[in-house]
Structure 1
């Protein structure tokens, strides 16, 4: 048994008239109302008002005029004056397009009831009074979903709140126990999906249990909790065949092979992909290439390491080719260098600043998830973007990745060196270390990190990143972290 605890973590021509009908949320001891408005003869309600009432997180992109709404694993997307909307990337059509009024997108009451009526909360439309009533689900475990992936099966448990839990795996049974949890035993049922034969639920007096019957033996389950979305993800992978015991002579070779001999430096973007571009025209691809070249020079001058670069000039390299290059070179370390950026107004761009170093794992918060999405977007520039159709259909390869801990350690060392060497010029973003599903790190067979050196969308940091002397300082800090990691790793600490 392993015990894990969750962290205690304007449209012109429209003349609207205000109606008195509210949307009401039945929260514990609290009722919230959002006015329903009559716009061009139709009773309409703000999508964000419903989101706030039901607990959705939402984000408005003023450049694309897109409103994104998220709760647990449900993602909805609406576009101003566009009749098409998406639910988890599936496209549906509205009877009428969302209209914008006073800074919010509005849709008819009836449509709102149909779209949001399948959420974890209860949502009902009262046609006679023109109200939508929303009441929060009485269950703390909202749903259990099974998804067959190319390399396993992903079990996703959506929660209404953080709960302490444990799991027990003894083939063919995998049991998840949620202390203080409540569950709808009639709703939580699942038939055969991938490695899962069936899923059922049991409600006890002081806990709730999810019982999974497996179709075949699996590796030790990987469990990850995403605090922002209150989502528990359980990765299930087929048990690998037992290999023959390694002979003593081979074991000696393995110990020797732990010596760090080869490093691959990966300056992000390049060629037709400029990466992020600052207000003054500074391009990410130029900044990170400069840092990469200075880093190679330091490593070659002061160590006997073999140093390779995925690119040492302005050329476009597909993400998968970068990973393949590092594996083919049998690299012992992989360093992918980038600069981050955020869209939005000047105030938002000014607020987003600082470096951050990432290792490969499920994102723990929306910020890290968006950082990965921005870097992974380069896929669309590749000749065969369809080759990445499995990006969301592949479990992050952590079970077989014996270098996860080393990648985390390298991130920490990089953060420490940056904090000492660069803190007078650039700060860290929050904790300085994060995790997310960066495609360029997925599938590398060595300790791998992605370094966001700063925000090129921030005017002050754009100027800093373009400075050749600062690029040298950044390269020196990375160099010092690498050599410290080398000392620690090779000494067996």
Structure 2
């Protein structure tokens, strides 16, 4: 009898909990500032940790216009607004507010390479009123700060709203076509580096795609390696305000000049790239540079299931790195370990400056017009030493993966042409081929490919 009663209670508990969990998971938290929904980038998530709403630090900086500094080494976040400052550290339940120590309900955390901080604590310490609607998963923030207001219209007739009809970016210039001349408010933000351009009393006109409040449009930045993303939105409705955010990629510094010519606002950017860091290497070890192709603003080709090549290249590259780090006679250097875009020239310079012994660039192939094409190709450029390395790695890849052997070939690619050591470019398989993409994206086959690449490198270095 007791056993039956326990089972009945357990079943009832499950019936109670499961719908609640499903309902909560289905709703995405939204944030409203002064009545307007904040436009959150697609990669940004609001999370609930032990009933504490945590918001990404970029939301704090980009939308609330606080000055935010992130120290990667100490994992410290410093937030400033005027004379008010707070300091938080990832994993620590204590914060500094005007040099006074305050205990937090939950410590800031790093989730998916994004720092999240307690929304209520940060907002209230910075003078915002905070509200939370648990049923609808709505955060409401109220502030007394806003963009400079337009001159009042004493006649009582509503002032005409300016309109944007076109937004373009090319040759380091943002060009915005407007009905009338207007001076936007420009703010620079950090972590990541961004330029925020706000057009007060401005709406989005006929741009081919109507965007309501909260929706976001994007420009194609694939030809601009220094730009990660350019997004625009109708940030506010009453009064109308259009916001354009330019997110920079691997940029050390940026300067800009603005002008308005014949109804076009022009923001001219001048950017200096971050140098690729050169890591000191231990004497006596062979230096191997692994180059996961593409990255950041350069996605590479697109797979059969619409995944970018850069994801595959990085996943395999990191597996090769992990195996090489176990070799006492090898010092492994990566051209990238995250989703950034070092230019091809920067990758070449890194390897040449290090006087590396081996350079291996990892890619996935594609022929979208012929999805039946499959197989592994390996490229070298002219040097016999590169050809020898190519043959060894290629042989191991064919043996490990069983893909069609499309041979070792001489190829005129910059990263293998301009490097001065033995260098190869691997096209592991065809991402445009459905079955081959599935095989290439599997952890099992990536581990096999990584081991094959490492075995080929070790054979070449006679280790």
The answer to whether the superposition gives a TM-score over 0.5 is no
Q: Which has the higher contact order (CA 8 A, sep 6+)?
A: 1
Q: TM-score, normalization: structure 1? A: 0.36
Rg (Cα) greater in structure: 2
Superposition TM-score, scaled by structure 2 size:
0.38
